[in-house]
Structure 1
C-alpha cells in the first residue's frame, strides 16, 4: 500500500482534540445502538420460526427497509443541506422508535411491512444526516479516525445487545421477541434526548458559498452523479453491501440456522465475537492504515471477507457439530476485521470528496447505493437458501469480493491522493461557530 508519513495519534489525544459536540455524540453511541443489537441477529428468525413466515417472504419483507430508505434518501440528503442534520435526525430516530414498537406486536406480513417502512424511513434519512453531522465536526485525518471510532462504538452497542438478545430470545416464547423489539424502541430515546438536550443548538448545516448562483448545476443530484469518481464509489458501496452487510443481516443468520444448523445462542455469540474484534482492533487498525491509500486498504479487506465466506461455507459440510460452531465464529472474526478497514475508508472518501454545502447530497448518493445493496441481498439470500443452494450462495459472495477488487482499483485512478488519504493532511477542526453565522438561538458546527 502506497503511504505517506502520518502522525499516529493516541486515542486519548483524539478524544482531547474533539469539540464538545463530537464528545457528546461518541459518548452515547454505544447506548443508542444497544437496542439495534437486541434485534439485528434475530429478525429473520423471529419472522420465520416464531411468526411462521417463509424464508423467501421474510427476505422480501426485510428488503422493504431498503426500498423505503432508497425512496427517501435523495430528499433526505437535500433537506439535510437545507434544514440541518439535527432536525432530520430527530425525524429519523422517532421513525425508528415507532417501527420497532410495531414489529414487537406484528403477527402478519402486512404488519411487518408497516414496521419496516418506519425503520426504512430512519435508515434513509439518518445516513446522510449523521455522516454530514460528523463531517462538520472534524476534518482531515481526524475525520477518518472519527468514523472508525464511531463504528467501533456502534458495534460495541450492537454486540452487547446481541448477547442480551441471544439470552432472552426463545423461539418457543414469542413474548421474548416482543420484549427485545420494545428494548430496541426504548434505545431511541437516547439520541432523541441528546438532540433535544445538549445538542439542541447544533444544526450541522453549511451555507452555500456567497459567489455561487443558487441555481448552479453542481448542486443537483444529476450533476453529482455525472462525476466518474462518484459513480465508481457508488458501485463499490453497492457491491460491498450486497456481499457484506446485507448478507450478514439476512443471509448469515439463515445460513447458520438452515445449513450450518447451529443454535440461536451461537448466532448471538457470533455477533458478540464480531463486536469484540471491532472494539479491540479498530483503533489499532486506524493507526496502521493512517497515511495509506484507502483503496488499497479495501483490497486487504476483500481478502479477509472472501476467506470469511469460504469458512462459513465449509460449515455446511459438518452441520450441527462443534466444527460448524467454530466455523461460524471464525466467519464473524474475519468479517469483523475487514469491517474495521471498510468503515473508516468509504465514508472518509465520500466526505473528503464533497463540498461542505453539498455534504448531505453526497452522503445521500452513497446511502442510496448502500440501500440498493440491502434491497437485493436478502431477496437473493432467501431464494437461494430456501432452495437449498447454499454452495451457490457462498460462491456468489466470493465472486462478488473479486469483482470489488476491480472497482477499488478503478476508483483509485479517479480520485485525488488527498481524497484517497495520502495527500497533505487538512488542518484540525475549527472551533464551533468559526466559519458560518448562526441563526438566532443556534450554534453551528464548523
Structure 2
C-alpha cells in the first residue's frame, strides 16, 4: 500500500502523531526520575502505579466511545483534555499539581489510542495492515530518537518552555483533527449502536462478553507480562543507568573525549532505541511478514527479556547499546504483528472495544511495572533483571498455549 494511495485521515494523523510523540518523549522518560527525586523512591513507585490504573478504565471507555459515537469524536475529546492538562502542567506551582497533570495527560492518551487504532483498521485491508501499522509505529518512534536526548537538557533546564510548546502542539493537532479528519465508523454500525442506551452498565456488559472469549483473554494476559518488561525502559532501566553507569567516554580523539553517564547515558540509550525503531521497523516487518503470528510473538518476548537481562552484567555504555539492540529487535518484531492480530480477530462492530480491551495489557503492565523500583531496594540489579527475564519467558509460553487454542475455537 503506497503512501500516495493512503486516505487523507491516515496522512494527517501520521504527521500529527509524529509531531506530538516527538515532544512527548522530551519529557515522559524523565518523569520517573523526577518523581523519585521529589517524593523518594518508595512513594514514587506507588504514585506511578496510579496513572496506569486510571488509564485502564480510560482505555475501556475510549474503545466503547469510539464504537458508540465515533472515532473522530473520541480523538477530539482526548486532545481537548490533553491540551488542558499540558497547560496545567506548564503553569503548575507544586509537585502535587505536576502529578495531577501527569495523570490527566495519561488518561487523555488512553482515550485516544483505541479510536486511533480502530480508524487505521477501518481504512486498511487485512493484507496492508501490518505495513500501515508499522509505518505509524515508525513515525511515533522518530520522536524517540531525538526526544530523550533533547529532553535530558530541555526538561532539566527549560521545563516551562518545553511544556508550553507541548501545550501549543496539542492544540494545533486538535484543530487539524477537527477540520481535516472524517468519521470512519461504518454508518450501519453507528445506526445500530445509536439504538443502544448510553450507560456505564451497557459498556461493562459489552466488555464482559469480550473477556469471556478465552483466546482473547489469554492474549491479554500474555500481553500484560510483555508490557511489564517493556515498561522497564523508562522505569527500572532508567534508575539502573542513573545509579550504576558512571561518566565514561563515548567518543575520544587524541586528547579530546565526549563523556556521558547517569541521566545523559539513559537519554542516549533511549535515543538509540528510537533510532533503531525508525530505521528498521519497516525492513524488519517486511523480513518477518511471512512468519506466523505465533512465532513472531514468541521470539519477540524471548529477545526482549534476554536483552534486558544482559544489562545487569555491564555498566559499559557500548555493551549497553548492544543489549538495547537485542531488546529493540524483539520490539520491532512484535508491534505490527500484535496490532494486526487484533484487527483480524475482532468483529467490525466491536473493533474499537477490542482495541480498547487490547490496550489493557499496557495499562495493567504499567500499573505493575513500577514495583521494580521498590524491589531494587532489596535486590541486586541481576535479581531485578532476572525477574524481568522470567516474566518475558512466561509471556512466550502463554503465546504458545494461545495459538494452540485458536484452531479448536474456530472449529467450535
Matched ranges for 1:207-286 at <5 A: 207-208=188-189, 220-244=206-230, 246-261=231-246, 262-286=261-285
TM-aligned CA deviation for residue 14 of structure 1: 2.7
Query: Following TM superposition, by how much is the alpha carbon of 1:277 offset from its aligned partner in structure 2, in angstroms?
Result: 0.6
Number of the residue aligned with 1:301: 300
Structure 2 unaligned segments of length 5 or more: list them: 197-201, 247-260
- Deviation string for 1:312-368 (max 9, x for gaps)? 1112xx4xxxx2x22332232222221111110111111111111111111111112
Aligned partners of 2:19 and 2:102: how far apart in 1?
22
SS of residue in 2 equivalent to 1:139:
coil
Cross-structure match for 1:95? 81
Structure 2 distance, partners of 1:181, 1:372, is 27
C-alpha change, 1:212 and 1:54, in structure 2 (3 Å) is: closer
2:249 is aligned to none
**Counterpart in the other structure of 1:117:** 103
Distance 1:194 1:220 in 2: 32
1:186–1:337: structure 2 CA closer, same or farther, 3 Å change rule? farther
Aligned to 2:375: 384
Match of 2:256 in 1: none
Residues 55 and 207 (structure 1), Cα distance of their counterparts in 2 relative to 1, 3 Å cut: farther
Structure 1 residue aligned with 2:173, among 174, 191, 211? 191
Counterpart-to-counterpart distance in 1, 2:407 and 2:176? 37
SS of match in other structure, 2:129 = helix
1:411 and 2:402 correspond: yes
**Greater Cα offset, 106-115 or 275-284:** 106-115
Of the candidates 380, 388, 397, which is equivalent to residue 388 of structure 2? 397
Q: 1:106 to 1:178 in 2, by over 3 A?
A: same
Cα separation, 1, equivalents of 2:192 and 2:33:
55
Decide which of 41, 46, 56 is 1:60's aligned counterpart: 46
1:211, CA displacement in angstroms? 9.6
Q: Secondary structure at the match of 1:188?
A: helix
Tell me the secondary structure at the aligned position of residue 189 of structure 2.
Answer: coil
The structure-2 alpha-carbon separation of the partners of 1:381 and 1:209, relative to structure 1 and needing over 3 Å to count, comes to: same
Structure 2 CA distance for aligned equivalents of residues 25 and 213 of structure 1? 26
Q: 1:59 to 1:79 in 2, by over 3 A?
A: same
Say yes or no: does 1:350 pair with 2:312: no
Corresponding residue number in structure 2 for 1:179: 161
Aligned residues: 390
Distance in structure 2 (CA, Å) of the matches to 1:125 and 1:102: 19
Using the alignment, how far apart are the partners of 2:193 and 2:147 within structure 1? 47
Shift of 1:393: 1.1
How far apart are the structure 1 equivalents of 2:53 and 2:76? 21
Change (3 A) 1:98 1:272: same
Deviations 1:363-397 (CA, angstroms, capped at 9, x unpaired): 1111122211110101x122012445422210100
Aligned with 2:2: secondary structure?
Answer: helix
The structure-2 alpha-carbon separation of the partners of 1:206 and 1:342, relative to structure 1 and needing over 3 Å to count, comes to: farther
List per-residue Cα deviations over 1:389-442 (Å, max 9, x = no partner). 42221010010111111111112123369x9xxxxxxxxxxxxxxxxxxxxxxx
What are the ranges of 5 or more consecutive residues in structure 1 without an aligned counterpart? 1-12, 420-446
